[in-house]
Amino acid sequence: MRTPPARHRRLVGVLSAALLPAVSLGPAAWADTPAVPGIDFTDGFGLSQVADATEVRSSTDFTITVTTPEVAGPHRVRIFLPSGYADDPDRRWPVTYFLHGGGGDVDDAAAAPALHSDAMITVVPDGGLKSWYADWYMQNTAVGAADWETFHLEQVVPYIDANLRTLPDRDHRAVTGLSMGGSGALHYAQARPDLFGHTSSLSGGVDFSMAAVRAAVLATELNLPGAWCALSTSSGLGCPNYGPYVDSDAVFGSPYPVLGADHRWNAYDPAAPANLSKLENTKVTLYTGDQGVIDANTATAARTVKNRLDQLGIPGRLVDYGNGASLSAQCDGSHTYKCWGPAYADYIPRLAAAFEAAAKN
Statement: residue 7 has pLDDT above 70? no
DSSP string, 177-243: EETHHHHHHHHHHHH-TTT-SEEEEES----TTSHHHHHHHHHHHHTHHHHHHHH-SS--S------
- The pairing of strands 95-99 and 173-178 is parallel
pLDDT digits (tens, 9 = 90+) for 286-325: 999 999 889 999 999 999 999 999 999 999 999 999 999 9
The one-letter code for the residue type at 180 is: M
pLDDT digits (tens, 9 = 90+) for 228-248: 454 433 333 456 788 999 999
195 Rama sector, left if φ>0, alpha if ψ -120 to 50, beta otherwise: alpha
The predicted pLDDT at position 5 comes to: 47
Question: Which has more confidence, 294 or 124?
Answer: 124
Q: What confidence tier does 32 reach under pLDDT thresholds 50, 70, 90?
A: very low
What is residue 77's three-state secondary structure?
A: strand
Contact 81, 89 (CB under 8 A): no
What gap in Å lies between CA 157 and CA 169, rounded to an integer? 11
The predicted pLDDT at position 2 comes to: 47
What gap in Å lies between CA 105 and CA 128, rounded to an integer? 7
Q: Name the average pLDDT for the chain.
A: 89
What is residue 88's three-state secondary structure?
A: coil
DSSP string, 90-155: T--B-EEEEE--TT--GGGGGGSGGGS-TTSEEEEE--TTT-TTSB-S-SSSTT--BBHHHIIIII
Q: What confidence tier does 17 reach under pLDDT thresholds 50, 70, 90?
A: very low
The predicted pLDDT at position 238 comes to: 54
Contact 241, 223 (CB under 8 A): yes
What are residue 104's phi and psi, to 5 degrees?
A: -105, -170
DSSP string, 309-348: HHHHT--EEEEEEETTTTT-TT--SSSSHHHHHHHHHHHH
Residue 87 CB partners (closer than 8 Å, separation 6+): none
The predicted pLDDT at position 330 comes to: 96
What gap in Å lies between CA 103 and CA 220, rounded to an integer? 9
Domains of the chain: 6-282 (3.40.50.1820)
